[in-house]
Structure 1
């Protein structure tokens, strides 16, 4: 549990459902609060499932100069420091191909990425917002013909009510090779596939070590299952008011307000006595 607010902290922010107001907006209240904490010497890190191209604008908006965690920890890099030793995780292509082909009758669509190259099984306007394709090269078609290397991760859109069947197959055949989780709620049939080492918590632990920040001085904010690892690692794991029950159970505390009502900014202002 974080106790001394006068020490340098590492503040870790998830984006969607946490520090963002909506899919593409970070409000000034949050930006101003983060900038004030930066001026006081605290370290602010973005940890998101998004690719860099879809999180860069918020990194710049907050004026950050720190490493960034993308793809839920499959990529840890520094936008401004070419000497920073990147951390990259990749899923074996042969496993992806097997899951996709063996479970094809249960899968409506799927996509994955290698850097800024997006590989999509078939075009579907309804999932464009998931692709973050702006600024990327898009390849559409059979993965056997388009995918040339191991991707950072893999997103499967299962047929309605069939997601669990796909997850069962992955669990039975690839338990120690690839992990999986569905997005829950209204997205039970969207399945994210990743390596066992892909975890925001693992990434944060490494960055805290590099910065010389003790675990007790790490504060992490999140709202969904992909945030569980970092909330468990942090000295103070903060679930959003709008977070899933699973996340709230793991967290040390919960914000008073949701992401749409400046929940992160409000919490940090109170915690660090910024209004006094």
Structure 2
């Protein structure tokens, strides 16, 4: 059997709604990897909020974070590491229009740190950032920004986050990427222009001397469109945002809470 590269999103895809991975899924992915297939986490999450899942799965492969602006081998030096930064001017541009975009907070995300503006500090849920509490040291002020972040994250009170994402892209002349989170939270995430999971996977395939024809991918949300279109076979979860379906080759009959990824991999490789 040809060895496959399997790119998997986390939230809404591999993770249950309570942000856990089932024992069944962990065991299934380990069996698939033992057959020689390569499993890649491809997530919009920052490194600090994905590394525990990487360790739980026992992975040794590169990981894609921030929708592609960070491609790295966790806790190791890797000559093919990709670390793309967003021009910090967009931090201040977004804060300049914070009333117009109904901003609750804006967070600047780096591999190992973040800063958040405190205009609506009561709206900042520490769990959203993998933290126990929001401390004063995290306040976003100009003298803390010495380099551009890998990504920006904002929560808005706007009723239609998808329309807002499009409006912001147009306002900034499509010079940045704006994607939405799934679920009920009105969260938008910003990446440098041209950065997405497909771009990151192409970089990774080139670095590992692998072929796109052997790539399969699983996703559920707006930020997975390019990845599913790029893969030889792209699977949308049963719970996927309808926006994603036209980019997928197939929609799974199972949701993330039903271990859809593991069930599909079991059918493909273990039966």
Same fold judged by TM-score > 0.5? yes
Match of 2:33 in 1: 38
Quote the Cα distance in structure 2 between the aligned partners of 1:11 and 1:127.
32
> 1:117 aligned to 2:113?
yes
What secondary structure is seen at the aligned counterpart in 2 of 1:139?
helix
Match of 1:148 in 2: 146
CA-based RMSD of the aligned residues comes to: 2.5
8 Å contact kept, 2:177–2:193: yes
The Cα shift of 1:17 comes to 0.8
Consecutive unaligned residues in structure 1, runs of 5 or more: 1-5
The Cα shift of 1:170 comes to 3.2
TM-score (norm 2): 0.89
Match of 1:58 in 2: 53
Quote the Cα distance in structure 2 between the aligned partners of 1:114 and 1:55.
13
Match of 1:3 in 2: none
TM-score (norm 1): 0.87
8 Å contact kept, 2:67–2:191: no
Quote the Cα distance in structure 1 between the aligned partners of 2:123 and 2:104.
13
> Deviation digits for residues 49-101 of structure 1, max 9, x if unmatched?
11112111111111111000011111000015413321112111112212211
Quote the Cα distance in structure 2 between the aligned partners of 1:138 and 1:132.
16
- The number of residue pairs the alignment matches comes to 268
> 1:263 aligned to 2:260?
yes
Q: Cα–Cα, structure 1 residues 68 and 200, in superposed 2: closer, same or farther, change >3 Å?
A: same
The Cα shift of 1:137 comes to 8.5
Match of 1:130 in 2: 128
8 Å contact kept, 1:117–1:138: no
8 Å contact kept, 2:166–2:178: no
